[in-house]
Amino acid sequence: MRFLTLIIYTVIFNTGYSSCIPKVNKDKPRAGIPGGQFNGCKINTQTGFCNPINGDENYMTRHHIFDKQLWIEVLDNGLNHSNYGFDQAKEKIKGILRFAGASDTVISDFDQDGKACNSETNKWLTWLPVNLSLGPAPEDRSFDPANDFDNWALMVVPDQDAKSTLNNIHTAVINYDNDAIAQNLAKLPAVKAPWQMTLGDNANWVKAYDTYGKQKYCPKEVFDGYGISVCPNSDVSLLTSYNPYSQAA
């Protein structure tokens, strides 16, 4: 009976570590993560908006879907504070690190459970490409969530399974469900670069006048769904009349 009680206690109150303990590092890895400032495009006066055109190399800035601090908390909670699913999550994050170009030293450091991750490992974890999408600089967007979950950055992810998984992780964070975080971390795809912005007629961002008459960018899905030919200056997922965005976000 004591043995059964010990098993139950271990499963319910697991406090073991699966990986090193991550910390936010605002510096990007030395290998670099693609991205950069966008050159912009001119609004067509007849239509009131434009689809972005290709600028110089690295034509968009990087946006965290989960902001840096929240993303590190996601990794720590799923890997080091869940009761099950953490082993699969750890192997998936190791695979993502390898595929993105992290060194064997980073992989080895990540593998050391219970110790603080070193600086380079923290760079890679903070800037994992799967949590990044390319878009206009924050000051060029009509709405930017600052240090919060970025629905707009998630919307332009073209991989529907990845979008759903990231959204599930966000729901698990809200519900304080570390097991669900771990299970969904294990489902993330390995990608080498941030989710790309598409250009021209098929652009997933557009530039248009905002509600203050300034030229700003917003996701095309938001622009189309808002229905008044402007880029909104708030997170329109809060508007119940705009169901497509509420469902996507």
- Per-residue pLDDT tens for 146-172? 888 999 999 989 999 999 999 999 999
- Positive or negative: CA dihedral 164, 238, 52, 27: negative
Q: Tell me the pLDDT tens digit for each residue of 2-49.
A: 433 333 333 444 457 999 999 999 999 987 788 776 667 888 878 888
Alpha-carbon gap, residue 122 to 129, rounded angstroms? 13
pTM for this prediction? 0.84
- Give the domain ranges of the chain: 2-40+56-200
Residue found under tokens 């879907």: 65
Give me the DSSP letters along 47-65.
Answer: TSEE-----SSS-SEEEES
Element (H, E) at 227: none
- DSSP conformation class of 76: H
> What per-residue confidence (pLDDT) applies to 39?
67
CA end-to-end span of the chain: 47
Beta bridge partners of 21: 116
